[in-house]
Amino acid sequence: MRIHSVNRDTQHHFSKPPVPEIQLIEGVGVEGDAHAGATVRHRHLVRRDPSAPNLRQVHLIQSELFADLAAAGFEVGPGDLGENVTTAGVDLLALPVGTTLQLGDTAVVTLTGLRDPCSQINKFRKGLLKQVLRKTAEGELVRLTGVMSVVTRGGVVRPGDKLKVVRPPEPHQPLDLV
């Protein structure tokens, strides 16, 4: 398990360009990123309640999603879907709420929930939303656009850094939308 890419954007653009490293700040998020802050920064959520805590400080996506999307005819790479951290070798969507991820030597994030893909994905690549919102045989909606987290210990994160997963005590609560 490792960090595949780190991505940051100072503006509220859909995609975030890859950078050599990011600095995570405890309780805030990615230094210099438009979504960093102790309170919500997502435009839609700010309109609802600007004083709400920011449970979406760091967005993570597993790089394995890109191969699935390529097989469906969609070229998508690190940062294209707006994530700050692109991982390799871990099924982020299967982890429970409260899981901590050590990113690199010191940084730690705690998972808060799932990212809810929106129609902006179709503006990025027409038809992509249908690929990242799938239904199981039982009719359950599965969101594939990654997980959200808060920074519980700051530090520098770089591509190639190791990633360590620590699950919370049971009973586990599955990730839901934040």
pLDDT, tens only, 66-79: 999 999 999 999 99
Per-residue pLDDT band at 87 (split at 50, 70, 90): very high
Does the pLDDT value for residue 82 go beyond 90? Answer: yes
Query: How much is the pLDDT for 118?
Result: 82
Q: Mean pLDDT, to the nearest integer, of 33-53?
A: 83
Q: Mean pLDDT, to the nearest integer, of 2-25?
A: 96
Domain boundaries, the chain: 2-166
Q: Mean pLDDT, to the nearest integer, of 152-157?
A: 98
**100-103: strand order across its sheet:** 18-19, 2-7, 85-88, 58-62, 147-153, 107-114, 100-103, 163-166
> Which of 91-95, 104-108, 118-122, 129-133 is least confident?
118-122
Joined together, the tokens standing for residue 64 give 């394995």
Mean pLDDT of the chain: 94
pLDDT digits (tens, 9 = 90+) for 114-152: 998 888 899 999 999 999 998 889 999 999 999 999 999
Query: How much is the pLDDT for 46?
Result: 67
Burial class (CB in 10 A: 0-12, 13-18, 19+), 104: buried
Distance CA 37, CA 56 (A): 9
Residue 159 Cα to chain centre, angstroms:
15
CB distance 120 to 42 below 8 Å: no
pLDDT digits (tens, 9 = 90+) for 15-33: 999 999 999 999 999 999 9
Does the pLDDT value for residue 8 go beyond 90? Answer: yes
CB pairs under 8 A, 24+ apart, for 62-71?
62/86, 62/87, 62/88, 62/90, 62/91, 62/92, 62/93, 62/146, 63/4, 63/5, 63/87, 63/88, 64/88, 65/132, 65/144, 65/146, 68/131, 68/144, 69/128, 69/131, 69/132
Query: How much is the pLDDT for 45?
Result: 74
Superfamily of structural domain 2-166: PK beta-barrel domain-like (2.40.33.20)
Does the pLDDT value for residue 86 go beyond 70? Answer: yes
